[in-house]
Amino acid sequence: MVNQKNKLFFQAFVKFLLGVVIVGLLLFVPAGSLSYWQGLLLMGILFVPMFCAGLVMMARNPELLRKRLNAKEEEKEQQTVVKLSGLLFIAAFVVAGLNWRFGWCVLPDWAVWVSAVLFLACYLLYAEVLRENTYLSRTIEVQENQKVIDTGLYGVVRHPMYMATTVLFLAMPLVLASPISFAIMLLYIPLIAKRIQNEEKVLEAGLDGYKEYKTRVKYKVIPLIW
């Protein structure tokens, strides 16, 4: 049991460090300087809460952490969505660094700080979703003994995790002071819509009560809108 926990901690820590290095390279190499303070700000509000959340999951719910680390999609449609989403992030981060370096169209400081507050608020929302639904994984699947969660945020929209992450992802380029990158990240919306469409097919086919849940909770991501 101890060896399994140690292995999980090592796996999580390596992935965390890899994420820090990749994002840092994507931002600061194009920027040509570590003086890109908006990039440092994003890395701080992104990775510090992520590290703390990982420690909490490791202590209280290591199985949930294991699920969150598993990013290997079995559904072919989802594999395409994940790859395209990755390309979007790469493009948005690189363009943000170039935008700061050459001063194409840089947002004012107040807009950066407002976006950072919004980002952190959505991080808290994301944490609440993880607390409510311990079945959450990064892949589309129906797990053994899984039940429909319809309380809390799940009583408002069917996919509160995507509500939180969509706003998080759209806030990132604004924290980076790059409206050009924001325009790039808007392409994430049709990708997440495609992911949700496929996910609901899988859940309807394999999760008892999900069809009935859909009739009770009408909205997928945004109350009264979507």
Residue with tokens 């700080």: 113
* Domain count of the fold of the chain: 1
Indicate whether 44 belongs to any domain: yes
Indicate whether 225 belongs to any domain: no
The domain that holds 72 is classified in CATH as: 1.20.120.1630
Indicate whether 224 belongs to any domain: no
Would you say 142 and 207 are in contact if contact means Cβ atoms under 8 Å apart?
A: yes
Please, what sign has the CA dihedral across residues 76, 131, 16, 118?
positive
Indicate whether 223 belongs to any domain: no
Number of neighbouring beta carbons within 10 Å of residue 130: 18
Q: Which domain holds residue 61?
A: 2-216
- What does the angle CA 120 – CA 123 – CA 125 come to, to the nearest 5 degrees? 115
Indicate whether 77 belongs to any domain: yes
Half-sphere exposure (Cβ direction) of 159: Cα atoms closer than 13 Å? 21
pTM tops 0.85: yes
Q: Which residues, other chains included, contact 226 with Cβ-Cβ below 8 Å and sequence gap of 6+?
A: 219, 220
Indicate whether 222 belongs to any domain: no
Q: pLDDT at position 54, please?
A: 80
Indicate whether 105 belongs to any domain: yes
Rounded CA-CA distance 161/218 in Å is 16
Q: pLDDT at position 31, please?
A: 97
Residue with tokens 């069917």: 158
Residue with tokens 């009560």: 209
Indicate whether 221 belongs to any domain: no
- Identify which of 160, 138, 140 has the alpha carbon closest to the alpha carbon of residue 149: 160
**Block mean pLDDT (10 aa), the chain, length 226:** 72 90 97 97 94 81 72 67 90 98 97 97 87 65 70 88 92 98 96 88 83 89 85
